[in-house]
Amino acid sequence: MSLPPQSQPAALPKPMVFVLNGPNLNLLGTREPAIYGSDTLDDIAGRLEDRARDLGLEVDVRQSNHEGHLVDWLHEAQASEAAVVLLNAGAFTHTSIALYDAIKAIRTPVIEVHLSNPHTRETFRHRSYVGMAAKGTIAGFGADSYLLALEAAAKLAKV
């Protein structure tokens, strides 16, 4: 026997995954396809939303060219009890002690994501302040890096 709709328990909210993207990633798909692929950030967001639905997760995909926005969003992830953050900090990866501190300051696990593999590129890309603070890193698989990171996020969120 099924309960009348008003007596049914409310559906549990799905774990939220913030997907934060740093400088110049708004230009994805328009230039340097040999390095970054031809998908736009909107294409990647669509693929993440589809996979998140299958995994029982919600995704909130954002991009900013401003370091402080990324810091604020990391704080927001913790305050809003997001389950996991996927962070492609772009070039701030290699420069930002503010992002290192923000990742260390929150309990929310952060997965570092890169389209390319920075270790096969210029030496200035070999140091990652984000990677020094992150739970783990997925890099070098193009747009699939984000999808692979979402699989890891599902395991961390235990869905």
Minimum gap (Å) between residue 94 Cβ and ligand CA2: 6
Biggest alpha carbon–alpha carbon distance for the chain = 65
For ligand CA2, give the closer residue by CB, 15 or 118.
Answer: 118
> Catalytic residue at 100?
no
For ligand CA2, give the closer residue by CB, 121 or 155.
Answer: 121
> Catalytic residue at 36?
yes
Rounded to 5 degrees, φ, ψ at 28 are -55, 140
Contacting ligand CA2 (CB under 6 A), which of 3, 10, 12, 31?
31
The whole-angstrom separation of Cα 36 and Cα 41 is 11
List the one residue out of 66, 87, 67, 79 whose CA is nearest residue 132: 87
Contacting ligand CA2 (CB under 6 A), which of 14, 32, 49, 65?
32
Distances (CA, A) of 22 to 6, 12, 50, 108, 154: 44, 31, 22, 18, 23
Q: Which DSSP category does 38 fall into?
A: S
Rounded to 5 degrees, φ, ψ at 93 are -45, -40
Token look-up 């593999």 returns: 117
Contacting ligand CA2 (CB under 6 A), which of 16, 25, 45, 103?
25
Minimum gap (Å) between residue 86 Cβ and ligand CA2: 11
Residue 95 binds to ligand CA2 (criterion: CB under 6 A): no
By CB under 6 A, what part of segment 96-115 binds ligand CA2? 114-115
Residue 118 binds to ligand CA2 (criterion: CB under 6 A): yes
Point out the residues that are catalytic.
Answer: 36, 114
Residues that bind ligand CA2 (CB under 6 A): 24-25, 27-28, 30-32, 36, 88, 90-91, 93, 114-116, 118, 125
